[in-house]
Amino acid sequence: MNVVDKVPNLLGFTPEQLTDHLTARGVDVPLDEARRVLAHAISLRPDSTERRRPVRASVLKAVADHTRLERLEVVERVTDPVDNFCKYLLRSPDGALTEAVRIPLHKEGCFTVCLSSQVGCAMGCAFCATGRLGLTRNLQAWEMVSAFKAVRDEAPGRVTGAVFMGQGEPFHNYDEVIQAARVLSNPCGGRIRMENITISTVGLVPQIRRYTREGHRFRLIVSLTSAVAERRRTLLPVAGRFPLTEVADAIREYALSRGERATVAWVVMGGLNTGDDEVAELKRLLSDVPLRINLIDVNESRPDGFVRASDEELSAFRDRLQVLGVPVVRRYSGGRERHAACGMLAATRFGEANSTART
């Protein structure tokens, strides 16, 4: 554990883990009662009209004795007037600041929550404000669950998904992110279907392989962004540790093991990674793998000089990608007006966002 907390936080448990935890401390709690404890703590919104099934006082005491229940504090929430993305700035008990974003889905009244997995990030991607912060620490599973709950409890509708695409590289904090995803997908936790929980990685090969071996049913997205080795190393410094051929092999293994398409993300930068060379290399590396490609516009409010591709450039790139015969989807990266978009999370209050994101 990273923070001074010998007693684990209740929000980080599944019901089975809670019964095991209490049994190991000499308290026998039936699984059904552990489920009720966690339903009260996590799955039921404060405004829920669902019946709250009672828990015996002795069980509540055992839970209070052997777990703790701290939550992240909401420091600020700002809504983008253009697209209704809502960015939350959250504070952990040790003072660490992190962010989450409520994202409206196409289906009216439904939302997904973009969660951070770390405070800052060690990956240093050239186009990302979080990367410039460096890594402060990993978030624990309960902190991610608490962030989810803070956003979900205020959502003006149903939260039906969660994406680990906020601050941090999720696979650099593998165990805690997988544990958070387990809790989020539990009926007594976040109640999110596994396939609606997305974990995004910049391409940490050993962790992609581990994830494949372990057979998790959450969705995985590998951010490729360039298939030209030298360019990718410049944009994603982690590529210096994991050559593209290894990343491609790991994606291939993942797709084969699941028997379905692997999704790769491509942060599109005007005049940089939309050329014929990219398509040719992508074809060479991955033409035998069933893929889905998500194109995401780079966000421009940063000092690094990256610019969004024009509509013409983007559509020409999409046309070129047709040779791969795979679905290519342009993903909307919203919340730009409030620095809530991909690559813009820098743990700042709204009024500070411009200055800090530009340091």
Binding site for ligand SF4 (CB under 6 A): 121, 123-125, 128, 130-131, 167-169, 202, 343
CB of 183 to ligand SF4, least distance (A): 22
Strand-strand pairing, 219-223 and 262-268: parallel
Amino acid at 333: S
CB of 120 to ligand SF4, least distance (A): 8
Query: CA neighbours within 13 Å on the CB side: how many for 168?
Result: 29
Say if residues 95 and 75 touch (Cβ distance below 8 Å).
no
Pick between residue 197 and residue 341 the one whose CB is nearest to ligand SF4: 341
Residue 21, SS3 per DSSP:
helix
Pick between residue 34 and residue 296 the one whose CB is nearest to ligand SF4: 296
Pick between residue 111 and residue 164 the one whose CB is nearest to ligand SF4: 164
Say if residues 265 and 222 touch (Cβ distance below 8 Å).
yes
Tokens of 178: 């997988």
CB of 223 to ligand SF4, least distance (A): 7
Q: Of all residues in this chain, which one has the CB nearest to ligand SF4 in the complex?
A: 131
In whole angstroms, give the CA distance from residue 120 to residue 131.
Answer: 7
Pick between residue 21 and residue 231 the one whose CB is nearest to ligand SF4: 231
Catalytic option among 99, 143, 176, 281: 99
The single residue listed with the structure tokens 């939260």 is 159
In whole angstroms, give the CA distance from residue 219 to residue 224.
Answer: 16
- The question of whether 99 is a catalytic residue gets the answer yes
CB of 180 to ligand SF4, least distance (A): 16
Tell me the H-state helices in 113-204.
141-154, 174-185
Which residues are part of the catalytic machinery? 99, 342
